[in-house]
Amino acid sequence: MTTDSSPLVSAEVFKRWALECGFDRAGVGELAPSAHGDSLREWLSAGRHAGMRYMERKMEERLDGSRIFPGARSVLCVALQYAPMEDAEGSGDLWPGVARYARGDDYHETMIGRLALLEERIQEALPDAITRRYVDTGPVLERELAARAGLGAVGKNTNLLHPEGGSYFLLGEIFTSLELAPDVPLADMCGSCTACLEACPTDAFVAPYQLDSRRCISYWNIEHRGPFPLPARKWVEEWVFGCDVCQEVCPWNAEPTPAREASFAIPERRRHLGLVDILRLSRDDYVEIFRRSPIKRAKLAGLKRNATVVMGNRRRREYVPALSDLLFLEEEPVLRGHAAWALGRIGGEEARTALSKALTEEADGGVLEELEGALAGLSGGRAEPTVG
């Protein structure tokens, strides 16, 4: 098959090959300029991408998939379910605060491996075909492409919805020089439902289909580096990594197709982890325990920061010893400061004693402010009732 103009190749064969490579669904999307280019530019101009500056780069390719490489004509889109899974919850108090997609091993490796097999099959059959694969990387508007390919309809929470898969599925793409017949997009699936918009604890949806990342929990506990502003500490509530609230309330996720991929379940070496364990992780233990985990995107310091904030929001006195240790043993000022904030939220005499002692020994100005604020906020020395 040459890369110049040619009759349509049967897309059904490629979709069948995708299913044989282990994907749950596959479809072909047309490569044409984005229908939402103006909206994306307005979203970026308004700063709703928060600190994710990479989204501003390579806009020509991002807004027109045919620019991914010269001669690109079609995109084969695939979907793979990651939830729900049997026995996927874990027993430690870390896991209720981890988004479902991140509980197992890194989906990038699984998706890329299967896409590579699919590419090999295409190139064996059609040696002249040019292909390029993507999984959540590169200047690709994957949800719009997947919607064009009939793999779902964009919901009011900006996730892709499918009648059988709900929204608990991952996307991948193979761009190709082959001209494949596109699939028919699905119709809107939300109707008058606004459950996701109403459930968002931070009001991150400024309107249906419009997300402001600056108020999104997943932005703060995954993408953001450094200290949390005070409002963000309360926004993340009990989410250590990611957030599933807008998916949990979606009616299409009531009984979605279950995942079949075993690597998406929590591996044994992480199954029993709790928040206290996270605070006490050495770097070597972190590297080993979170090997192949999506959670590594937050880095060790970010994960510990998130854990301290969740502890402060849960206000459980059992967390006080580990947070107190962090005040005196942690080298990173951001973590000492967040531990101080969490202790101030929990309260009690043990927390007050640790904060007072740290105040006399701390040299970092930012941490001193956190300590003073935590002590000033203590009232009555009593921890608030346990949350959760």
Cα separation, 241 vs 298, whole angstroms: 8
Tell me how far CA of residue 213 lies from CA of 52, 169, 181, 297, 300, in angstroms: 9, 21, 35, 17, 22
End-to-end Cα separation, the chain, in angstroms: 59
What burial class does residue 305 get, using C-beta atoms within 10 Å of its C-beta: 0-12 exposed, 13-18 middle, 19+ buried? Answer: buried
Per the annotation, the verdict on 325 as an active-site residue is no
- CB neighbours (10 Å) of residue 148? 24
Please state the φ and ψ torsions of residue 201, each to the nearest 5 degrees. -70, -15
Neighbouring residues of 178: CB distance < 8 A, sequence distance ≥ 6: 1, 9, 73, 74, 122, 126, 129
Cα separation, 45 vs 167, whole angstroms: 28
Name the residue type at position 189.
M
Cα separation, 28 vs 173, whole angstroms: 9
CA dihedral 82, 84, 85, 87 (to 10 degrees): 130
Which of 87, 93, 136, 212 does the annotation list as catalytic? Answer: 136
Cα separation, 246 vs 295, whole angstroms: 20
Tokens 């921890």, residue located: 383
Coil/strand/helix, residue 22: coil
Cα separation, 283 vs 271, whole angstroms: 19
Name the residue type at position 2.
T
Tell me how far CA of residue 177 lies from CA of 18, 21, 71, 123, 131, in angstroms: 17, 21, 6, 11, 7
Contact between 200 and 246 (Cβ < 8 Å): yes
Coil/strand/helix, residue 176: strand
Catalytic residues: 136
